Structure 1
Amino acid sequence: MISRLCLCLTLLVTGTAQFAAAQSFSPAIKVNDKVVTEFELDQRTRMLRLFRTPGDIDALAADQLIDDRLRMQAAEEIGISPSEDQIMAGMEEFAGRANLSAEQFVAALQQAGVAPESFRDFVRAGVAWRETIRARFGPRIQISEQQIDRALASGGASGASVQVLMSEIFLPLTPGAEDETRALAQRIRGMSAEAFARAAREHSSAPSAGAGGRVNWVPVSNLSPQLRSVILGLRPGQISEPVELDGQLALFLLRAVEETENRAPSYAAVEYAAYYIAGGRSAQALERAARVRAQVDTCDDLYGVAQGQPDSVLERGTRAPGEIPEDIAAELAQLDPGEVSTALTRSNGQTLVFLMLCGRSFDVSGAVSREGVALDIQNQRLASFAQGYLQQLRSEARIVRY
């Protein structure tokens, strides 16, 4: 999860925590003949808080430890016991998500009151479960060349991806009022989520203003490199620093981060058209944009709209994601082909941008190998088997909470 990648930053503000003077090792839960202690519950709760895991932390900690007991039981039944090298490799891999070595990661956890053994047990259960699923279900999975071809044709392999749920505010930098706008942006940075929504309705120039700045889920891969670094530097509930995007200050409130199983394929290029309407966000310009929207279904239709006008009023092109201006990339990330945005302006707010997404092309060339696609398909199917098997173990288990 992306929240785990922010662990090092989290630890900086968490401070050094000391172990409680008297930890309780009394039983908290019994899973078949295995006991989960109060101490283990406390340790897992601390870890989940450090990882900024959303939801009911206490309930999630208990559920995870129950599942870990069932995973270890399933592994033992078929003679699987992770070696020290496998466990250490798992610890290194997990710590690497926070750009730390296992030793640095363990030291950071200790500062927050999490014992090294607790992290080791967490990793050990995961490694044992992975090997168990491979042993039980791996031989059942046969992947054909036709399945690989279909995966490539749909944009590449399937796997995990990350998408973000945001709210936005765009503040035009009107000449002569820049200082007031920057001061307003700084005030917004200190607001709650509810106040952010009210500020969006009152001040934002984006079409999302009426919805309190709320926009739909956006794959992180669709964001421009600048915005990606801004958004992924936030924790859910945080508001970004103001970002200047062509005459406007943009602020983003990160509401949620989600890891999905079916990854949206990477875009090799994005084709879009921008039709420029004089008048900025005036009523006349917006009415003109509404009339144009009623006339067009595709980017090709804009040629008819712009006929007889200077060539400069219509811009159309195909660019790699990293070459697209930041504000345009942010809007295109929310659009499907044929959809339109009128959130942006040019010429210090004097020109309205009628922005239409024409289409996206996917990178399925040498960046994606057939072997990699086959492996991703296999991993996806193993994940499905693992979920069903764990549900079965849960339904058959005797679970007692004290």
Structure 2
Amino acid sequence: MTTTATNAMRATLLGLAVSLTAAPLAAPNAAMAQGLFDPVIKVDGAAITRYELDQRAKLLKLLRAPADPTRLAREQLIEDRLKATAGDAQGVVISDEQILAGMKNFAAQGGLEADQMITLLERGGVSKETFEAFVRSGLIWREVTQARFGARVSVSEADLQRARAANTDGTGIRVLLSEIIIPFEGAGEEQVMARARQIADLTSTAAFSAQARQVSATQTRDAGGLLPWQAVTNLPPVLRPLVLGLAPGEVTDPLPLDGAVALFQLRDIEETDTPERAYSAIEYAAYYIPGGRTPAALSRAAQVAAQTDTCDDLYGIAKGQPANVLERGTKAPGEIPNDIAISLSRLDPGEVSYDVTRANGQTLVLLMMCGRNNTPEVAAPAGEVGEDGQAAAPDQTEQLSQQIAARRLESFADGYLERLKAEARIIEY
């Protein structure tokens, strides 16, 4: 689950308490009914039962998750199995005491005790065991990511200076990047990742652009992957900490996407007089074209791009076709898949890109930016109250360092999880 989704759910716990306090106890569910414990999904042989899927969906619904509960439950449980396997491989063991502490911490986000949280969830038909499994998975993943990537996460004084400049009122940060996105289809993931690791060691902008012209699948390929100046807040959440951690000429570590891997080189970075603004939501449309990156599909995408100026125009393009050929919606930046978010970051309203695929490369996705909802940057949190009752000044450098480190660790973890999903054998019944 993304940090955005987790925070959104935690923020609703107090509302959960209010809405369920007066609710009658749910009738005992038919846990022993025939077929309830049959597997509906297997992840590398590990079963997910109908009961687990139903329970997780109920939990997410009670927590008002910002997505369809059934779909999100499926995604989370698949990820839980992958996280558990990764934890076993690294010898991670979570004790009962850790689980209890995790449940207390989660409940405290809504001003509840763990026992109160459990009682309220049970009133909504969610068992204590389901809540425990939800917390256990998060604890396992924290241990796994810290063990794998903790030593790779460091914050330099230059990183802090850039972040301070980015958060200063009246100023902003913009970056000049080059990009390479290499699809896995054709060469295969192992070979592509090996090539990506070689590219990540480059420090020459000319060498990076030469690689972009050879292997990149983006529309910037012929231009050597060169992107124009863009505000750092335009970048997707997964990319911002990676870019702010670079010096000019350096390249990000390979960033796994859905069926591809991305690399970005920082060419330049500068402070501007324009205040930065955060985007609370992004509205975009996705039009699906069969054929993947074949000449026919790319030609069709170019034709659609030439015939449309706004997202509303896509309805005319999709007229008479199945309803699922066109999707349009508004999402928080952290909820948008990384490959789509990266593609959208280059676009202004009405502009399109078509370098993302789905269905193992068999479907080309034409993306159009409909609009961004701007909100001011949130101020830094206030300090804690000291013994004298006065607000204690926070150690801002330490806070900022922790924030940068946490974002980098999360980006590594997200990339690792995407790779695990890409390598897993997932069977649905």
Under a length normalisation based on structure 2, what TM-score does the superposition of the two structures give? Answer: 0.48
Residue identity opposite 2:266 in structure 1: L
1:266 to 278, 290, 295: 278
Match of 2:179 in 1: 168
In 2, Cα distance between equivalents of 1:226 and 1:200: 21
- Taking the aligned partners of 1:98 and 1:198, their CA distance within structure 2 comes to 29
Work out whether 1:308 is the aligned partner of 2:320.
yes
Q: 2:335 aligns with which of 305, 323, 342?
A: 323
2:209 alignment partner in structure 1: 197
Query: What displacement does 1:267 show?
Result: 1.6
Structure 2: distance between partners of 1:98 and 1:251: 21
Q: Is the 8 A contact 2:163 2:244 kept in 1?
A: no
Residues 124-150 of structure 1: CA deviation (Å, up to 9, x unaligned): xxxxxxxxxxxxxxxxxxxxxxxxxxx
* Residues 147-296 of structure 1: pairs in structure 2 closer than 5 A: 159-174=170-185, 177-191=188-202, 192-296=204-308
Alignment of 1:357-372 (within 5 A): 357-363=369-375
> CA offsets per residue over residues 197-221 of structure 1, 9 Å max, x none?
1110011000111111101112111
Distance 1:336 1:158, change over 3 A: farther
Task: Using structure 1 for the length normalisation, give the TM-score.
Answer: 0.52
C-alpha offsets along residues 235-277 of structure 1, whole Å, 9 cap, x if unaligned? 1110111101111100111111111111243222111001011
What's the counterpart of residue 389 of structure 1?
A: none
Structure 1, unmatched stretches of 5+, are: 1-7, 12-50, 53-95, 101-156, 369-402
- 1:195 match: secondary structure: helix
Residues 171, 276 of structure 2: 8 Å contact kept: no
Kept after mapping to 1: 8 A contact 2:182/2:262? yes
| Separation of aligned partners in 2, 1:98 and 1:183 | 31
Q: Is the 8 A contact 1:158 1:261 kept in 2?
A: no
Give ranges in structure 2 of 5+ residues lacking alignment. Answer: 1-153, 380-429
Q: CA deviation at 1:299?
A: 0.3
Change (3 A) 1:320 1:181: same
Q: In the alignment, which residue of structure 2 is the partner of 1:347?
A: 359
Task: Classify the secondary structure of the residue corresponding to 1:202.
Answer: helix
Aligned residue identity for 1:197:
S
Give the 5 Å matches for 1:17-96. Answer: none
Bigger-Rg structure (1/2): 1
| Distance of 2:178 and 2:162 partners within structure 1 | 26
Tell me, what secondary structure is at the counterpart of 2:220?
helix
Quick one: distance in 1 between partners of 2:341 and 2:199?
Answer: 23
The alpha carbon displacement at 1:304 in A equals 1.1
The one-letter amino acid paired with 2:228 is N
Backbone CA RMSD of aligned residues: 2.6
Please say if residues 158 and 262 of structure 1, whose CA atoms lie closer than 8 Å, have aligned partners that are also in contact: no
Contact 1:175-1:348 at 8 Å conserved across structures:
no
1:297 aligns with 309
Q: Provide the aligned length of Structure 1 versus Structure 2.
A: 222
> 1:99-143 CA deviation, whole Å, 9 max, x = no partner?
99xxxxxxxxxxxxxxxxxxxxxxxxxxxxxxxxxxxxxxxxxxx
Aligned CA distance change for structure 1 residues 315 and 231 (closer, same or farther; 3 Å): same
Counterpart residue identity of residue 184, structure 2 = L
Q: CA deviation at 1:232?
A: 1.4
Moved over 3 A (4+): 8-11, 96-100
Structure 1: which amino acid aligns with 2:237?
P
Partner of 1:37: none
Distance 1:203 1:98 in 2: 31
Q: Which has the higher contact order (CA 8 A, sep 6+)?
A: 1
SS at match of 2:239: helix
Shift of 1:334: 1.4
1:276 partner letter? Y
Distance 1:99 1:327 in 2: 24
Q: Secondary structure of the residue that 1:181 maps to in structure 2?
A: helix
